[in-house]
């Protein structure tokens, strides 16, 4: 490719000599025959040249390799080296290996895939990694500002930087990538200032009367009722509930021992008298569905069969190939039925637990239930968490939840716990079918 020459130096034939320009090789050939005996194309108001008349195929190949950059006003890459597309493929291969080993979860891998797609889109697939400059990363920052919230921009910036740090740490490039001074995650103080300037309000907490109403709704199926109780009783999130194994439950003693899937941090929580029968009902329903599918010769994945929660069609309450969460979808339907304020998602129950459990005045015990680990010396020195402290945390939240009605003494037994009827199954199938 050669740019349009300066005025007065335009190559071309002798004015006295009339040229016979060749016809296009095909009707859809994107270039035109220029008087300089080269194939040309005007892009963004400027004429570019791609080869001589007698090499139409070569001119077309050069055009197709450069047109995506020229349309964006970018200089096409020159020379050989690691391209952006090749780097993203190598990075995703390494993440896929970690996913297979179980060191990262599917959601983390999906985020990496989306980040790599964004990198290729903004920088161009054939752009050389070592040719990227701070100005290119400022352009990426501008793209993020147009498509993401201020908080999400910081997360995406970290992932983008991680892709190029992978190239440096694995000797894929000969020099350090220069991100510039502006392509970095904003600190917490700056984030708070932006949120205050934009008038952002703290996420609302789901109140006790709202949680009780959700539990009593006719539309609340057996499994979702148990999940809601686990979320407000033990601080479990969507992925926690979807991946919860039966071996993590001690229903006789009323305890949950379940390391957090996201971080592997151990956690233990005392189960309420209301939570235990709800879990027994969910397990009984799961076993009934497994038995039906076995009689029909319909196999269920072993990993799914070992989980506490499973749908009627033998699927887990999570989809690894989709960013849509079935638990969130099901809970949102209940939230709309109860006219909860927008933003009251299932994960909000985990935030509610953290907020109310803090009133126990034992934040260390609360962190243990939540699966949080403070980076302080006390965490390294602490050898155990006494059950009495965990029971105090559990009782604090339970008193808050049932303060308007008093603590429940008439807890239904397993035999009286509701089992999902045909209407419940229809509702669950409807929710599952709407999820892509």
What's the token pair of residue 430?
Answer: 């409807």
Residue with tokens 């034939």: 13
* DSSP conformation class of 33: E
pLDDT at 66 over 90: no
Q: How many residues does the chain have?
A: 436
Is residue 220 within 8 Å of 331, Cβ to Cβ?
Answer: no
Neighbours of 72 (CB within 10 A): 13
Residue with tokens 């269920």: 300
pTM above 0.85, yes or no: no
pLDDT at 213 over 50: yes
Neighbours of 392 (CB within 10 A): 17
385 pLDDT band, cuts 50/70/90, is confident
Neighbours of 271 (CB within 10 A): 21
What average pLDDT does this structure show over 123-152?
A: 88
Neighbours of 104 (CB within 10 A): 17
Which range, of 14-28, 182-196, 252-266, 417-431, averages the lowest pLDDT? 417-431
Q: Which residues contact 27 (CB under 8 A, 6 or more apart)?
A: none
Which candidate, 432, 436, 433, places its Cα nearest to that of 317? Answer: 432
**Tens digit of each residue's pLDDT (9 = 90 or more) over 142-167:** 999 888 877 788 899 999 999 999 99
Q: Which helix (H) or strand (E) holds 2?
A: strand 2-3
Q: What is the pLDDT of residue 146?
A: 87
Neighbours of 340 (CB within 10 A): 21
DSSP 62-77: HHHHHHHHHHTTPPPP
Is residue 229 within 8 Å of 275, Cβ to Cβ?
Answer: yes
Domains of the chain: 2-71 (no CATH), 84-198 (1.10.150), 208-434 (1.10.443.10)
205 pLDDT band, cuts 50/70/90, is confident
Rounded to an integer, what distance in angstroms lies between the CA atom of residue 354 and that of residue 229? 14
Q: What is the pLDDT of residue 365?
A: 93
**Tens digit of each residue's pLDDT (9 = 90 or more) over 71-80:** 877 777 666 7
Which range, of 231-240, 241-250, 310-319, averages the lowest pLDDT? 310-319
Q: Which residues contact 152 (CB under 8 A, 6 or more apart)?
A: none
Give the start-end residues of each E strand in 38-180. Answer: 38-43, 46-52
DSSP 214-275: HHH-TT--HHHHHHHHHHHHH---HHHHHH-BGGGEETTTTEEE---TTT----EEEPPTTH
């Amino acid at each position: 490719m050669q740019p349009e020459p300066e005025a007065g130096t335009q190559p071309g034939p002798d004015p006295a000599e009339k040229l016979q320009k060749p016809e296009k090789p095909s009707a859809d050939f994107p270039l035109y025959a220029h008087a300089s005996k080269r194939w040309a194309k005007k892009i963004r108001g400027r004429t570019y040249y791609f080869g001589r008349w007698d090499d139409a195929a070569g001119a077309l190949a050069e055009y197709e390799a450069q047109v995506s950059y020229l349309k964006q006003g970018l200089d096409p890459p020159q020379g050989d080296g690691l391209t952006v597309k090749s780097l993203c493929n190598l990075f995703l291969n390494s993440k896929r290996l970690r996913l297979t080993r179980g060191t990262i979860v599917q959601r983390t891998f999906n985020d990496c895939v989306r980040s790599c797609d964004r990198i290729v889109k903004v920088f161009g697939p054939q752009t050389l990694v070592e040719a990227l400059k701070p100005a290119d990363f400022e352009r990426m920052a501008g793209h993020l500002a147009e498509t993401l919230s201020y908080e999400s921009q910081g997360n995406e910036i970290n992932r983008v930087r991680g892709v190029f740090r992978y190239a440096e740490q694995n000797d894929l490039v000969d020099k350090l990538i220069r991100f510039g001074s502006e392509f970095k995650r904003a600190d917490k103080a700056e984030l708070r200032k932006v949120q205050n300037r934009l008038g952002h309000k703290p996420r609302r907490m789901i109140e006790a009367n709202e949680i009780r109403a959700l539990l009593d709704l006719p539309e609340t199926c057996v499994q979702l009722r148990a999940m809601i109780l686990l979320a407000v009783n033990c601080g479990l999130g969507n992925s926690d509930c979807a991946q919860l194994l039966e071996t993590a439950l001690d229903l006789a003693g009323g305890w949950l021992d379940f390391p957090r899937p996201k971080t592997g941090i151990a956690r233990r929580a005392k189960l309420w008298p209301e939570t235990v029968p709800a879990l027994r009902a969910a397990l009984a329903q799961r076993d009934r569905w497994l038995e039906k599918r076995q009689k029909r010769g319909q196999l269920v994945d072993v990993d799914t069969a070992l989980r506490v929660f499973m749908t009627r069609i033998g699927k887990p309450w999570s989809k690894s190939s989709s960013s849509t969460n079935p638990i969130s979808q099901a809970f949102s339907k209940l939230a709309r039925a109860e006219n909860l304020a927008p933003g009251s998602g299932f994960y909000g129950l985990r935030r509610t637990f953290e907020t109310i459990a803090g009133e126990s005045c034992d934040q260390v015990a609360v962190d243990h239930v939540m699966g949080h680990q403070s980076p302080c010396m006390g965490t390294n020195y602490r050898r155990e968490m006494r059950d009495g402290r965990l029971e105090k945390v559990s009782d604090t939240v339970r008193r808050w939840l049932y303060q308007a009605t008093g603590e429940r003494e008439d807890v239904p037994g397993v035999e009286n716990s509701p089992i999902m009827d045909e209407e419940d199954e229809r509702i669950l199938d409807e929710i599952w079918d709407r999820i892509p």
